[in-house]
Amino acid sequence: MSTVTPNPNECLMALYEERHEIEDYQKGVPRWCPGCGDNAILTAVQRLCRDQNLRPERTVFVSGIGCSSRLPHYMNTYGFHSLHGRALPVAEGIKMSRPELDVFVNMGDGDCCSIGAAHWIHAIRYNMNLTIMLHDNQIYGLTKKQMSPTSPLGLKSNTSPRGAYLEALNPLTVTLGVQNVSFVAQTVDWNPELLYQVLSAAYRHKGFSFVRIVQRCPEWLPKMMDPWMQDASKVLLLQHPDGVTLSPESSRLFNNQEAHDPSDIDRAREIASDIDPIPVGVLYRNPEVPCYEEVRHDPHLRTSAFVQHGLEAEFDKFTVWPEEPEAPKSHRKQTRK
Amino acid sequence: MIETQEKSGLQKKKAPQSGAKGPKRVTKLHEHIIEIISDSGEGAQRCGQSLGAIAARMGYGIWTIEIIPAEIRPPARSVAGASGNRIRIGEGQVTNGGNETDLVVAFNEQVLLGRVRSGQLKPGCLILLEDKWRQDPDPAIVASYVETYGQLVKAGFRVLEIPMEVECLKHVRDARKGKNMFALGVLCSIYSLDLQVAKDQIALTFGKKAESVIQANIELLLAGFEWAEASLDFKYAIPCKRPTEAQIVVNGNTALALGVLASGMEVCAMYPITPATSASHYLAEAFEKVGGVLHQAEDEIAACAFAVGASYAGKCAVTITSGPGYSLKQEVIGLAVMAEIPLVIVNVQRGGPSTGQPTKVEQGDMLCAVFGSHGDAPKVVLAPATIEECFYCVITARKIAETFRMPVVVLSDANLATSQSPFPRPAFDVAWFAPPIDQTPAPAGAKPYAWDPETGLSQRFIPGQAGGTHTLTGLAHDENSHVAYDPEINQRSLRARSLKLAALQKTLLPPPVFGDPEGDLLVIGWGSTKGAIEEAVAGLRKEGHRISSVHFSFIQPLPPGVKEILGRFKHHVAVEVNWSDDPNDALIDETNRRYTALAMMLRSRYLVDIDCWSEVKGQPLRPAKIREVLMKKLEEVEA
């Protein structure tokens, strides 16, 4: 057998991976309504992929069902457009099996907070290294204007013609209330720089990175977000070196700011409970929470010989050996005195 | 209180005398059915399991069935709380739990009542009954004991009172923890079992515990044995041959779990549900030693979706559940059908619908396995018929799932799940193990659903594979996995997914006919009823009836050659543990009758007038009952 001596130049070359451009991540023409926040999210995500130079074949976008969940179809990566509410367990199965993949999850507010609420709560507990985008436009879009769990009290919709009768569910306080929470952020679709920076911080965080994106639905709630878009004082920008810091130019758009340390969970909960002004930026970040895939993943290389060895040991536990002829010694040793 | 037996009008036999000395009466038998029952927590389960294992090690054919109450700790001395084991020991191969019980060891009189009332005990059955209740300080207990004892004797049972507690207290302080091994010793004496094998078995069973625990249990075993030798005047002798090859003794759930290991699967996602859970208990212990992951999800839907995600990412994945959990998984199973993701779903059927009878036997999920999920969702359905098949069918299921990119449902049931019967130790075959998925870069223009026009098959690309990027979807899609509402595409893609079943069917063999290939009556079955049906058919054949049986392990697709097999018999009857209307009911006629599941499938597919008989009492079918039904049918046929 000959030995191959590595060529030092080739080894060096391998360090310089192929650079990807934004077009490498683009696929098809999005069929969202003009002005839909999903377009902004798609653009931010593609920029993030480019800047992190993610390899398209090692990147997976998993989604549920709804307008938001069409996003994987417009990414030239691997994707899985699954079922209403079930994106998280599908993504968990993928990440558990292949921790080396970059896995993103796109969900709508009904998807995550209503039909998928159980999966959401438990996904926070599992804390797998996933980047979660909750596209929250506070209304069901694809099924045509029904109220969502995040619809504000009094919102008129096709299923609440006299106004939504319950207080809205706050995805931030819910997430922050679960033991094991490791990353919670909020952003808006209409500020591209903020959107990008928050998604980028979420991607870089190792763990279940939950980002709620407050998003416009130009079709069913065209004026809903106007107060926040028009009055900068109704938005609170959280800046911190451990969270996000916007450029001075972008930062100037926010006259309401706080230097919030994302390791402070008590303050994060206070901020999250407030919906006026709505906080944007990283609310909470704890890199110390163990990831489920690391706690559970077995590093053994599974060859057939390895499995055979384990299987034979299991068989031995349940084997009744004949008296004659002699069974193989290796097996007898473990079962007989 | 015990009316069923009183009506039998059997002669009361004289109970054997205690304290008998001298030569014993030895009765030679071909087989015997033994029950050991106690309150939950008194160890009758372990006694029964050990008895079965000892008998198996000596070369007897055995079939053991668990007797489990629905509650974890039912009140002591309660009718519903009976917990234990039923062991059929025979000189040859034993393929099912058999008929009624011949001998019972009972730790109190109350646990017997449920067994008696539900007709589990043979008329004249010998009962070895703990007698300490006669001297109980509570007069109510004494009264209950005396009354029940009297009724049992009156009903024709041969009740022999034995001083279990008194004898155990000579060796241990807490008799509650020792009676089971004492009882085992008594049974070793009665059935002339090898004491050395029994000691070895105890050492194996308590292997993880301290040496003193093993010694204490062996002491009790010997105490029981010696007491029986000195005090009982009878023994039973069943001939047996030492086995010539190594045998595995496990229940069906453990066999399924071993199949999961052997097939090279890497992910099992589940949510606890009876009676499927014990398979995952076993995997939780064993799976991770070979690099697998057992994931307990937050619910059944998540478990199935997790398995789908793992499979999509290139791992072999299985999800194990039972009826109600299977219902919940149907949504994700439909996704696996549509997105063509390999997936093995094990459904250990229980009594239903709804939460039904969690610990009882039923074969009620066939139609929802074949036609379930929504829309037209073609998938493969297999049904193991024996403990051994529980092992091999998981390997087969995985292979089919991966080759055909589709979900494969394995329908076991509560009868197989908790029963034990030895089968030859499998020799590891590297072909069982999943080969690595081809991850070489996909050629330019490769399509994720390049459906072969002849078979419907297509190559799958998994994340990480260069050139194969695509987005799978549960929406209607074209060959590129693009969402498509083209008028032709749904029809074309559904054809491809359905064609895979036909392609698989072409690789199968016709099912073997048990008995002559032609005759008057063909009995048709599937799943765990095989042993009982074949025992009944074999008996009738010996008496000269032209009867045979056929058993299906592939439910969807059905194997080839079925029409020919059906055509060689004049009459057909399906025997199943799911509902069929009784044609003699007042409101029922041939135009509104509901048929058992397999009968209905075969009738519709082969246009053959297949009759059916079923019983949904939550118990495994008994050969004697099947025989009685078939006799009646034969009388009509032969007339």
B305–A contact, CB cutoff 8 A: yes
Q: Is the dihedral of CA B87, B92, B97, B102 positive or negative?
A: negative
- Could you read off the pLDDT of B7-59 as tens digits, one per residue? 333 333 344 444 555 678 999 999 999 999 999 888 999 999 999 999 998 99
Identify the pLDDT of residue B362: 97
Tens digits of residue pLDDT in A68-119: 999 999 999 999 999 999 999 999 999 999 999 999 999 999 999 999 999 9
B/e letters for B216-235, b = 16+ CB within 10 Å, e = fewer, are bbbbbbbbbbebbeebbeee
Residue A14 pLDDT: 56
Does any CB of chain A come closer than 8 Å to the CB of residue B62?
Answer: no
DSSP state letter for B72: S
Is the confidence at residue B464, as pLDDT, over 60?
Answer: yes
Beta carbons within 10 angstroms of residue A264's beta carbon: 14
Give the CA distances from residue B80 to residues A20, B115, B406, in Å, rounded to whole numbers and listed in that order: 69, 10, 43
Q: Is A20 helix (H, G, I), strand (E, B) or coil?
A: coil
Q: Do B464 and A57 touch (CB under 8 A)?
A: yes
**In this predicted structure, what is the pLDDT of residue A331?**
47
Count contacts between A and B (CB, < 8 Å).
209
Tokens at residue A172, please?
């931030």
pLDDT one-digit tens code per residue, B249-285: 999 999 999 999 999 999 999 999 999 999 999 999 8
Can you give the pLDDT at residue B8?
37
pLDDT at residue A7, rounded to an integer: 62
Give the per-residue pLDDT at B4.
40
Contacting residues of B for A119, CB less than 8 Å apart: 298, 302, 305
Residue partners of A117: CB distance under 8 A and separation at least 6: A85, A149
Mark residue B229 as left, alpha or beta (left: phi above 0; alpha: psi -120 to 50; beta: remaining): alpha
Residue range B392-405: average pLDDT? 97
Question: Residue B308: its chain A contacts at CB < 8 A?
Answer: 82, 90, 93
Q: Is the pLDDT of residue A11 over 70?
A: no
pLDDT for residue B70 is more than 90: no
Average pLDDT over residues A164-190: 97
Among B residues 174-213, those touching chain A with beta carbons less than 8 Å apart: 200, 203-204
B310 with A296: Cβ contact below 8 A: no
**Average pLDDT in the B403-414 region?**
97
For B95-152, the pLDDT digits (tens) are 999 999 999 999 999 999 989 998 999 999 999 999 999 999 999 999 999 999 999 9
The pLDDT assigned to B15 comes to 44
Cβ separation A322–B243 shorter than 8 A: yes
Residue A187 has pLDDT above 90, yes or no: yes
What value does the mean pLDDT take over residues A29-33?
A: 95
How, if at all, do strands B569-576 and B519-526 pair? parallel
Backbone angles phi, psi at B123, to 5 degrees: -55, 135
Q: What is the mean pLDDT of chain B?
A: 93
Selection from B230, B329, B307 nearest residue B22 by Cα: B230
Instruction: Pick the closest to residue B267 from A40, A267, A174, A90 (CA basis).
Output: A90
CA distance A61 to B214: 56
pLDDT in tens, A247-270: 999 999 899 999 999 999 999 999
Show Cβ contacts of residue B611 under 8 Å, excluding neighbours closer than 6 positions: B571, B572, B573, B574, B599, B633
This prediction's pTM? 0.93
Q: Say what the alpha-carbon torsion angle A59, A65, A67, A72 is, to the nearest 10 degrees.
A: 20
The closest CB to that of B203, out of A73, A101, A337, belongs to A337
Q: Can you tell me whether residue B234 is helix, strand or coil?
A: strand
d(CA B471, CA B468): 10
Task: Compute the distance between CA of residue B14 and CA of residue B158 in angstroms, rounded to an integer.
Answer: 7
Q: What is the pLDDT of residue A15?
A: 57
Q: Please report the pLDDT score of residue B241 as a whole number.
A: 85
Pairing relationship of beta strands B83-90 and B267-270 according to DSSP bridges: unpaired
Percent of chain B with pLDDT over 90: 83
Contact assessment for residue A311 and residue A321, using Cβ atoms and an 8 Å cutoff: no
Lowest mean pLDDT among B19-28, B338-347, B541-550: B19-28
For residue B329, the one-letter residue type is: K
Q: Tell me if B310 and A297 make a contact (CB, 8 A cut-off).
A: no
Among B243, B245, B299, beta carbon nearest to A118: B299
**Is B301 within 8 Å of A86 when comparing Cβ atoms?**
yes
ipTM (interface predicted TM): 0.92
Q: Report phi then psi at B457, rounded to 5.
A: -80, 155
DSSP B405-467: TSEEEEEEEHHHHH-B--EEPPPP-GGGSPPPP--SPPPTT--TT---TTT-------TT-TT
Output the pLDDT for position B613.
98
Closest in B246, B302, B465 to A327, CB measured: B246
Which pLDDT tens digit goes with each residue over A39-63?
999 999 999 999 999 999 999 999 9
Residues of chain A in contact with residue B422, where contact means CB-CB under 8 angstroms, are 320
Contact B291 A306 (CB under 8 A): yes
Whole-angstrom distance, CA of residue B331 vs CA of residue B333 = 5
Average pLDDT score over residue span B310-331: 97
Query: In this predicted structure, what is the pLDDT of residue A18?
Result: 82
Cα separation, A285 vs A272, in Å, equals 14
Report the phi/psi class of residue B375: left, alpha or beta, with left for phi > 0 and alpha for psi in -120 to 50: left
**pLDDT score of B163 more than 60:** yes
Task: Supply the pLDDT for residue A330.
Answer: 47
Q: What is the pLDDT of residue B207?
A: 77
Question: What average pLDDT does this structure show over A156-164?
Answer: 96
Average pLDDT of span B329-335: 98
Residue B12 is predicted with a pLDDT of 38
| Percent of chain B surpassing pLDDT 70 | 97
**Please, which residues have CB within 8 angstroms of residue A14's CB and are 6 or more apart in sequence?**
none
* Burial class, A217, CB count within 10 angstroms (exposed 0-12 / middle 13-18 / buried 19+): buried
Beta strands in A128-262 (DSSP E): 130-136, 139-140, 146-147, 183-188, 208-214, 235-239, 257-259
Q: A119 and B298 in contact by Cβ < 8 A?
A: yes
From the list B200, B302, B463, which residue is nearest A60 (CB)? B463
Q: What is d(CA B222, CA B217) in angstroms, rounded to the nearest whole number?
A: 9
| CA distance readout (Å), A99 to A60, A207, A299, B433, B439 | 11, 12, 11, 23, 17
- What SS3 class is residue B278? helix
Q: Decide if pLDDT at B61 tops 70.
A: yes
Tracing tokens 């007898």 back to the chain, one arrives at: A332
* pLDDT at residue B310 is higher than 90: yes
Among the listed residues A97, A94, A123, the one whose alpha carbon sits nearest the alpha carbon of residue A111: A123
Give pLDDT, residue B13. 39
Q: What is the mean pLDDT of chain A?
A: 91
Please judge whether B247 and A82 are an interchain contact, meaning their C-beta atoms are less than 8 angstroms apart.
Answer: no
pLDDT of B73:
76
Q: Quick check: A4 pLDDT over 80?
A: no
Q: Confidence band (pLDDT; 50, 70, 90) for A203?
A: very high
